[in-house]
Amino acid sequence: MRAIGRAAGVDAALLHHYFGSKDRLFLAALEFPVDPRVVVEQVLAGDRATVGERVAGFVLTLWEQPGVLDRLLALIRAAATTEQVAQLMRGFVLEELVRRAAAELDIDQPELRTELMLSQIMGLAMARYVIAVEPLASATREELLPLLAPTFQGYLGGA
């Protein structure tokens, strides 16, 4: 935060006041279209037997929103080539997604299972949108949802 403040010509305390943490500043800089705290609450709310379907549905729907996919792919590409971006992304994913979700899951190794699911999501984004492997790249949401949901469900606690 201090380095960001110096680069912006402001005191780090000002950044802490407006953003609270480096991860929240990172989120704001990305102009991320959703609040990950709300997402975790929404996908984990309700019947745990269908949480995999809610996660898969959320991801596939999010990627279809105008501008969202471009920002996420830019972030993935930057994280793959720049250690500083990768470090910021690791902190964000760990704090905003993994730890929040793991705290709500009553399963063995909740952080590891959540990270496995996120690795599947990131791999899907790479294969579908960056490398554009067919037929995955042109598959519809309706085709992918029933294939992804059971895998996510398995990671998050079984059927």
CATH of the domain at 131: 1.10.357.10
Closest residue by Cα to residue 20 from 92, 83, 121: 92
Sign for the CA dihedral angle at 31, 131, 125, 78 comes to negative
State how far the alpha carbon of 13 is from the alpha carbons of 16, 24, 28, 92, 103, in Å. Answer: 5, 14, 17, 20, 29
**How sure is the predictor about 29, in pLDDT bands with cuts at 50, 70 and 90?**
low
**How sure is the predictor about 139, in pLDDT bands with cuts at 50, 70 and 90?**
very high
The pLDDT of residue 1 is above 60: no
The pLDDT of residue 42 is above 90: no
Q: What is the pLDDT of residue 124?
A: 94
Mean pLDDT of the chain: 83
Which domain covers residue 134, as residue numbers?
33-155
Same domain, 98 and 20: no
Same domain, 59 and 111: yes
Name every residue whose Cβ is closer than 8 Å to that of residue 129 and which is 6 or more positions away in sequence: 63, 69, 73, 137
